[in-house]
Amino acid sequence: MNATPIRLLIHGANGRMGQALQRLCDEASGCNVVAAVSRKVGPRVIDGIPQFAASEHPGAPEFDVAIDFSLPEGFDAILGLCVARGKPLVSGTTGLSDAQVAALDAASAHIPLAWASNFSLGVAVLHDLVERAARVLPGWDCDIVEAHHTRKLDAPSGTALTLGAAAEAGGAQPRYASLRAGDIVGEHLVQFANAGERLELVHRATSRDIFARGALHVAQRLAARGPGRYRVADLL
């Protein structure tokens, strides 16, 4: 952990995650938001934080780590800024194109990078448990059941697919089921079943703040790492 607070640039500051990051960073002692970047800006300073439009990236002040929760169309600019300044990037922006994923991989040769569909620390642990279970339970049925609020349109969720990739890495062939109901923040059940027994690994999110807290946790640790692409589990 850094002895002094790290300076953060928040990209996608007007979104739900961007607002949570600013609020939680204000409550924490290990970070300080020095710039908030959004597609459009009104007041130039809000709660002491300088505001920048996405087109004004080059004018952003010095920062130690950028955290990006935006849209694919804004991703190239923030990645380019981090590479140009040699600064780490934490990103949870989903829907990236193949070209953007390739650019992410190429940039990792020059700066520390952490991209994830889910920054929950619990899910990071679950990911490794799923791969381990799949590896030591060959031939068992593997099913992943995810549940989210009714406003979530994609199914299976990105997290379910990531857990499925972990199961596949261990040799399993996962099947998926999705539920959309009420205001469920996020639940993921990974079940391994065989004759006479069943193993269930479950993660339940009850607050969206866990994703912002996880991203801040990753940012604080990524600041001290060398170039490369890191998983959340690598930074626990």
Q: Find, among 119, 132, 80, 124, the residue nearest to 103 by Cα.
A: 80
Secondary structure of residue 116 in the 3-state scheme: coil
Q: Is 87 tagged catalytic?
A: no
Give the number of other CB atoms < 10 A from CB of residue 71. 15
Helices 72-85 and 98-107: crossing angle, nearest 10°? 20
Give the sheet arrangement for strand 45-46, strand by strand.
45-46, 49-53, 31-38, 6-11, 65-68, 89-91, 112-115, 228-230
* Active-site residue, from 87, 127, 148, 203: 148
Helix, strand, or coil here: 76?
A: helix
Residues shown for the chain = 236
Tell me if 30 sits within 8 A of 8, measured CB to CB: no
Q: In a 3-state reduction of DSSP, which class is residue 154?
A: coil
Active site residue 152: yes
Which two tokens mark 78? 């923030």
Q: How far is CA 43 from the centre of its chain?
A: 28
Catalytic residues: 148, 152
